[in-house]
Amino acid sequence: MTWVILTGRQNDIDQVATPHKIITNRDYLAHPALFRGQRPKVINLSNNYGYQSRGYYASLLAGSRGHRVIPTVETMIDLSERKLYEHALPELELALNKCRKDLGGAFPAKVAIFFGIGPSKVWDRFAKLLFDWFRAPALEVHIKDSAEWASIRKIGFLPLARMTEAEEELFLQCLDTYTNREWRDTKGRTPARYTFATLVDPHEELPPSEISSLRYWARIAEKMGVEVEPITKKDLAKLANYDALFIRETTSISNHTYRFARRAQQEGMPVIDDPLSMIRCTNKVYLNELMTYNKVPVPPTVMIAGTSDFEVAAQTLGFPLVLKIPDSSFSRGVKKCENMTELTKLATEWLEDSDLLIAQKFIPTEYDWRVGVLGGQPLFAVHYLMAKKHWQIVNHKASGKPDQGGIKTFTLKQTPPHVVETAVKAAKCIGDGLYGVDLKETKDGVFVIEVNDNPNLDHGWEDSGEKDELWVRLTQWFLERLERPEK
């Protein structure tokens, strides 16, 4: 992995202070062929990031050369005026004030944050959040403190030229931490061309991939020149050290999975799931509108925004009907209502937390088709059987572990063409990533129930039909995006 450090002047950083390549922004701008054929990670330490300055152009052109750079020009613009970053201040100030107890006194007038690392562990929560918002090597935060609340007066870049000797020493330590990661023992192994990060939660009850399945993928990917490494939600600051990201936790736009996806996208890394796919797939209201607009068959549906819609749903769909919270997953927040009394009670309760609900015609089947689609092409097909004595594939019991139905596998050639074609059409409405399309096959045709941005992929299950080809194609999806010629 190649790290390149850009400075305003040749002597801004001693060459022996870091093992990485140090060049001036002037040389970087003047020699576009530098690092051709490589994908270096660039840390721009110019002393001036002003619009159309050398520092600004260095980050701008890094993007055009396919080099990943911090800070980006977007960050430079965001921090150029307070009004452009004031939307971030409420969350940052909340984190800042949580430091007060551990700080043991008043806040300093200003604090330096380097690569998301503060001057001590007391600042960890705030420093990491600041780096999430503004990915810059060195930031200076000016604080206005009072007895009850500390507010942020200003956030700005801290150039090397303005650092004290102690700050520069800490900065170099943080630089080393940021650019370094623990490598596995590679003795006897072929050096990998790329390293993919796989975001996992070892304690998740229903993960989209078991750890054993990801180890299986890692063995296949290794033969293709790729090293697969697990990371957890604590490793956001290290994400830039990898070439791609595969999220294998249940996704939500309200937790760290979205932040990881967004960060990967900012880094120019291929990522599954990408932020836009998360936004689109995690909301059933949006999905229903999108499928209907694109003429993808879905069950008859009524949107519920208030009590006046209860009767409309009952008259249009009949009973039983299925009521859904827009951002539910794994069969959670999806209930069957047998009559008007049940609909009124449940919908009234759920509307307290969600402005909109979805009611759909109940279509009983013994199984759901799940067709995996990757990059606009079918990847696998299975039947997910209903849980025992239940109408869904997962039965979330009041106590104990969820009860899941079984699985029946097919090759793509064995799968009815109209099922595959409908699934691919639905997935293409979302994007170019990995999706799991759930469909019900009836005498009246095929209906798309939902499109999942984070579908299950497990060895011995979803890969039973296509075998190792599934994992090869998954790896190849990332490689194709990493190796696309620069425009």
239-254 pLDDT, tens per residue?
A: 888 999 999 999 888 8
Shared domain check, 140 and 92: yes
Shared domain check, 53 and 11: yes
Is 412 inside a domain boundary? yes
CA atoms of 245 and 357, how far apart (whole Å): 33
Domain final position from 180, 209, 242: 180
419-478 pLDDT, tens per residue?
A: 999 999 999 999 999 999 999 999 889 999 999 999 999 999 999 999 999 999 999 999
Q: What is the pLDDT of residue 191?
A: 55
Is 207 inside a domain boundary? yes
Is 481 inside a domain boundary? no
Q: What is the pLDDT of residue 187?
A: 41
Q: For the whole model, what pTM was predicted?
A: 0.65
Sign of CA dihedral 39, 43, 47, 53: positive
Is 285 inside a domain boundary? no
Shared domain check, 21 and 39: yes
Q: Name the band, by pLDDT with cuts 50, 70 and 90, for residue 180.
A: confident
CA atoms of 160 and 354, how far apart (whole Å): 49
452-462 pLDDT, tens per residue?
A: 999 999 999 99
Residue positions counted in the chain:
487
Q: Name the band, by pLDDT with cuts 50, 70 and 90, for residue 186.
A: very low
DSSP 8-state assignment for residue 71: S
Domain final position from 180, 205, 228: 180
Shared domain check, 255 and 202: yes
188, pLDDT greater than 60: no
Is 172 inside a domain boundary? yes
When pLDDT is averaged across residues 289-307 and rounded to a whole number, the result is: 92
Q: Name the band, by pLDDT with cuts 50, 70 and 90, for residue 184.
A: very low
Shared domain check, 90 and 15: no
Nearest to 429 by CA among 445, 411, 448: 448
- CATH number of the domain enclosing 23: 3.40.250
113-147 pLDDT, tens per residue?
A: 999 999 998 898 899 889 888 989 999 999 998 87
Contact status, residue 374 vs residue 434, Cβ threshold 8 Å: yes
190, pLDDT greater than 50: no
Shared domain check, 434 and 413: yes
Is 287 inside a domain boundary? no
388, pLDDT greater than 90: no
394, pLDDT greater than 70: no
279 vs 390, more confident? 279
When pLDDT is averaged across residues 304-327 and rounded to a whole number, the result is: 90
Q: Name the band, by pLDDT with cuts 50, 70 and 90, for residue 230.
A: very high
81 vs 32, more confident? 81
Is 480 inside a domain boundary? no
Say how many domains are in the chain.
5
Q: What is the pLDDT of residue 133?
A: 87
Scored b (16 or more CB within 10 A) or e, 420-440 reads bebbbbbbebbbbbbbbbbbb
Tell me what the pLDDT averaged over the chain comes to.
87
Domain final position from 123, 154, 180: 180
> What contacts 24+ positions apart, CB below 8 Å, involve 310-313?
310/340, 310/343, 310/344, 310/347, 313/343, 313/359
Q: Name the band, by pLDDT with cuts 50, 70 and 90, for residue 401.
A: low
Shared domain check, 349 and 409: no
389, pLDDT greater than 70: no
262 vs 401, more confident? 262
Shared domain check, 202 and 133: no
Q: What is the pLDDT of residue 393?
A: 55
Distances (CA, A) of 377 to 34, 344, 348, 450: 37, 42, 41, 17
Shared domain check, 62 and 24: yes
- CATH number of the domain enclosing 220: 3.40.50.20
**HSE of 433 in the Cβ direction (CA atoms, 13 Å)?**
27
- CATH number of the domain enclosing 312: 3.30.1490.20
Shared domain check, 255 and 200: yes
The range of the structural domain enclosing residue 388 comes to: 365-467
Is 472 inside a domain boundary? no
Shared domain check, 163 and 135: yes
**Residue matched to tokens 């613009």:** 77
Q: What is the pLDDT of residue 182?
A: 38
Shared domain check, 172 and 221: no
Which residues in 282-398 belong to E strands, given as ranges? 301-304, 321-324, 334-337, 357-361, 367-374, 377-385, 394-395
226, pLDDT greater than 90: yes
Q: Name the band, by pLDDT with cuts 50, 70 and 90, for residue 366.
A: confident
When pLDDT is averaged across residues 327-334 and rounded to a whole number, the result is: 63
